[in-house]
Chain A
Amino acid sequence: MFEFFLGPVTLCAPGSTNGTDDREGLPPDWHEVIGTAGDQFRDAFTRTCLYLVLGAADVSEALTDGGTRSDDTVVIGTEYGNTAALARLQRHAAEKGKLLSAQYFPNATSSSASAFVNLRIGATGRNMTINAGVLTPVVALWQALSALERGRSDVSRLLVGDVYAPEAVADARLDTPDAPCRDGVAHAFLRTGTDLTAEFDFGAADTPRPSPRPGTRPGLMRTVCKAVAHGTDAGDAAPVAFAERNSAFVTRAFLDLVHTLEPAERAVLECHAPDGRHATVTVTRRHANSTDRESQ
């Protein structure tokens, strides 16, 4: 069991970029927050992650641009991460030949978003980019909280989601052809504390899975629900199902629910993968409510 304090939870879902730089519905302060330097090299996923962490920097001990360093942990849970930048490097090499800039490559690794997040906020703690498929939100949260529990960091930054390149959409349709791929990344600020406890259960792929709840499709199931006591589902909060591919939305919904918990209430996130693996995290509020919540 982990103990922690949950800070602001934010979501950036600016509308489909389709892997290009043509973005609709960007937050009005987008360029003000992340700047424009390097935009020809960094992709939409990196920029979205930067927007979220820099927008929340006022509550971090780390300052932007590496002015002050912290031991913050950064965990990014994503299925396709920087795919757009990887594909662009390959295409531009074919097009530009000897004129290909060396600045593409640092932006075109599978963990470039994490690298630039760490760099911009001066976070020197653990950092990792995790892909656990449908279970990504639970596994990423586990690693973020483990860093706090083991005393490796006082703060963990959790980013979960995807901004889909066209190739990523095609890949996602191979095993979940009906699940929509909507762009979005959720960000949560986790800190050492005793307000909340988190209990995790990782179910084996060969154990019976519960029947899909109404509104969910077989094979890919994530639900969020509120409960008042162990073993009892909440009366007014039937499980809410999320059938879309992107983990960002269920992560944001779950952590928003955590913010509403009264003492002894629990929020439960369940993830079931098509291969039978499943994972559950149950967060219980111990003490006074935290209302530190915002939305973007």
Chain B
Amino acid sequence: MNQGAARVFITGVGIISPAGAGAAPFWDDVCAGRSRFVELPPLYAGMKPGILGGRVPREARETALAEVDAVTRERPRDASLFAEFAALEALRDAGLVPGDPALRTAVVCVGSSDGQAEALEDVVAGRRGIAETGGFSSYSIAQGVARTVGAAGPAYLLQSTCASANVALSCALEMLRAGVADTAVVGGCDPYSEKNIIGFNTLQAIGSTPCKPFTKSRRYVTPSEGAGMFVLQTERALRPDATPYAEVLATAVSNDASHPTAPDREGVAACHRRSLEEAGLKADDIDVIFAHGTGSRANDTIEGGIFAERYPRAAVTAIKSTIGHLMGAAGAAGAVAACLSLRHRLVPPTAVDPDDVELDLNLVTGAPLALPGLRHVQNNAFGFGGNNAISIFRSVS
């Protein structure tokens, strides 16, 4: 399989999540196993009160509003607000500024499942007119990020349900390796979506107890919102003083072609095999896995079974227990966490009772796990429609 010649690195990360605005509060919360879930208001007659979700706090939203440009501030849509804030943080982290020459031809690729959800939902509900919302074309998210960072190269949005951010990473990686550009601003974002909450409610997949990945008592997904963005650069674009978080070895994308909502064990296992093949690694080479770990019966049974069978050496963690399920941005949150793990040589815990863990997993619980020799980290993201996407990162030190 032709992987292309260029080595590609992550040189900057940014995130906004229920933990707050920025990578620092995010890392603090995931390492402390601290969640900030709130009760979501019932959206229709079929939805009970008390269902838990993760929301970006008001202060974090105000922080983001203060940083984005006037165009976004004038008519803020959450997906754009989140993505542009996270992109700006990632730029700073990479030592770049908006309009930097390195960004001129940069690729911008954003994954999102629900896009400009509140704009469409307000129009459908008759709460606002289309012009007042600013529009709901998902392309406007990528366009806004490109405008914000000063990137004039190809900009596009990827939709692959909850695997969207990892698919976006894969598509941008292909473009950098093919020589389309040397820099890319990539990630995922998803806002709170009424349609999404209603949909999950009809499937009885959300509820009043928080997400408890890989436990015997797991029952519900905890929907959440936010964005994670990162700067990708080829080796030749790296500045002399650059200290990349990671090298991106692979991002495998596949489909179960099995069921509209239920994951398929063979399909998910095949994506694991593809990612290892693309990375040129074996399962035993993987030190840490940031699991998709939604807390649903079906996902965790299949994913956990694969870990137990094929990755007995890897430490596994599921940060949705802390920040919830960021939907199309879930893979981006995992990628940011993976980068911070590689930087700090620390694996954040899954916020569950260790005695409740169901499978024979090396699941990190309690305190963060120090791994001084940490080298390879895997980041999983799966979604409805049989979407699977797995990234593998390697330490650069």
Say whether A264 faces chain B, with CB atoms less than 8 Å apart: no
Q: Is B198 touching A93 in the complex (CB atoms < 8 A)?
A: yes
Tell which of B121, B130, B158 touches A170, judged by Cβ atoms closer than 8 Å.
B130
Q: Is B160 touching A119 in the complex (CB atoms < 8 A)?
A: no
Of residues 144 through 194 on chain B, the ones whose CB sits less than 8 Å from some CB of chain A are: 146-147, 152-161, 167, 170-171, 174-175, 178, 180-181, 194
Say whether B374 faces chain A, with CB atoms less than 8 Å apart: no
- Which of A8-16, A123-131, A180-188, A249-257 sits within the interface? A123-131
**Interface membership of chain A positions 123-164, coded 1 if the CB is closer than 8 angstroms to chain B and 0 otherwise:** 111111111110110010011001001111000000000000
Q: Is B260 touching A116 in the complex (CB atoms < 8 A)?
A: yes
Known contacts A116-B260, A143-B171, A170-B130; decide if A150 and B161 are in contact (CB<8 Å): no
Of residues 190 through 210 on chain B, the ones whose CB sits less than 8 Å from some CB of chain A are: 194-195, 198-200, 202-204
Nearest CB on B from A223, distance (A): 18
Nearest CB on B from A60, distance (A): 13
- How far apart are the CA atoms of A276 and B199 in the complex, in Å? 38
Tell which of A123, A139, A206 touches B255, judged by Cβ atoms closer than 8 Å.
A123
Say whether A281 faces chain B, with CB atoms less than 8 Å apart: no
- How far apart are the CA atoms of A177 and B134 in the complex, in Å? 14
**Interface membership of chain A positions 201-216, coded 1 if the CB is closer than 8 angstroms to chain B and 0 otherwise:** 0101111000000000
Say whether B396 faces chain A, with CB atoms less than 8 Å apart: no
Known contacts A89-B198, A106-B384, A275-B143; decide if A128 and B153 are in contact (CB<8 Å): no
Interface size class of B (residues with CB under 8 A): 35 or more
In the complex formed, the residue of A with least CB distance to B111 is A128
Known contacts A118-B386, A122-B257; decide if A128 and B45 are in contact (CB<8 Å): no
- How far apart are the CA atoms of A171 and B260 in the complex, in Å? 28
- How far apart are the CA atoms of A125 and B387 in the complex, in Å? 10
- How far apart are the CA atoms of A171 and B153 in the complex, in Å? 24
Q: Is B253 touching A202 in the complex (CB atoms < 8 A)?
A: no
Q: Is A204 touching B152 in the complex (CB atoms < 8 A)?
A: yes
List of B residues within 8 angstroms of A83 by Cβ:
120, 136
Tell which of A96, A167, A277 touches B120, judged by Cβ atoms closer than 8 Å.
A167
Of residues 258 through 278 on chain A, the ones whose CB sits less than 8 Å from some CB of chain B are: 275-277
In the complex formed, the residue of A with least CB distance to B174 is A146
List of B residues within 8 angstroms of A91 by Cβ:
124
- How far apart are the CA atoms of A116 and B257 in the complex, in Å? 8
- How far apart are the CA atoms of A132 and B138 in the complex, in Å? 9
Known contacts A108-B195, A152-B1, A275-B143; decide if A115 and B46 are in contact (CB<8 Å): no
Q: Is A135 touching B154 in the complex (CB atoms < 8 A)?
A: yes
- How far apart are the CA atoms of A202 and B46 in the complex, in Å? 48
Say whether B125 faces chain A, with CB atoms less than 8 Å apart: yes
Say whether A37 faces chain B, with CB atoms less than 8 Å apart: no
- How far apart are the CA atoms of A87 and B202 in the complex, in Å? 16
Known contacts A87-B120, A98-B45; decide if A150 and B152 are in contact (CB<8 Å): no
Q: Is A100 touching B198 in the complex (CB atoms < 8 A)?
A: yes
Give the tally of cross-chain contacts (CB within 8 A).
217
Q: Is A110 touching B138 in the complex (CB atoms < 8 A)?
A: yes
Q: Is B139 touching A128 in the complex (CB atoms < 8 A)?
A: no
Nearest CB on A from B392, distance (A): 16
Q: Is B157 touching A131 in the complex (CB atoms < 8 A)?
A: yes
- How far apart are the CA atoms of A127 and B160 in the complex, in Å? 8
**Interface membership of chain B positions 261-303, coded 1 if the CB is closer than 8 angstroms to chain A and 0 otherwise:** 1000001001000000000000000000000000000000000
Q: Is B137 touching A131 in the complex (CB atoms < 8 A)?
A: yes
Of residues 82 through 125 on chain A, the ones whose CB sits less than 8 Å from some CB of chain B are: 83, 86-87, 89-91, 93-94, 96-102, 104-112, 114-116, 118-119, 121-125
Q: Is A139 touching B254 in the complex (CB atoms < 8 A)?
A: no
Nearest CB on B from A262, distance (A): 28
- How far apart are the CA atoms of A93 and B42 in the complex, in Å? 12
Q: Is B255 touching A124 in the complex (CB atoms < 8 A)?
A: yes
Q: Is B137 touching A79 in the complex (CB atoms < 8 A)?
A: yes
Q: Is A110 touching B159 in the complex (CB atoms < 8 A)?
A: yes
Q: Is B198 touching A204 in the complex (CB atoms < 8 A)?
A: no
List of A residues within 8 angstroms of B160 by Cβ:
111, 114, 127-129
Q: Is B174 touching A150 in the complex (CB atoms < 8 A)?
A: yes
Tell which of A86, A127, A132, A171 touches B154, judged by Cβ atoms closer than 8 Å.
A132
Known contacts A104-B199, A129-B158, A151-B1; decide if A66 and B258 are in contact (CB<8 Å): yes
Q: Is B130 touching A124 in the complex (CB atoms < 8 A)?
A: no
- How far apart are the CA atoms of A80 and B137 in the complex, in Å? 7
List of A residues within 8 angstroms of B105 by Cβ:
202, 204
- How far apart are the CA atoms of A135 and B156 in the complex, in Å? 9
Known contacts A111-B387, A151-B2, A202-B180; decide if A130 and B156 are in contact (CB<8 Å): yes
Cβ contacts A to B, 26 pairs, < 8 Å: A66-B258, A91-B124, A93-B43, A94-B125, A100-B44, A111-B385, A112-B385, A115-B385, A118-B255, A119-B260, A125-B255, A128-B159, A128-B160, A128-B253, A129-B158, A130-B156, A130-B157, A131-B142, A133-B156, A152-B1, A170-B123, A174-B130, A200-B180, A202-B181, A207-B152, A276-B152
Contacts A101-B202, A142-B175, A204-B153 supplied; 4 other A-B pairs, CB < 8 Å: A115-B161, A124-B270, A127-B387, A167-B130
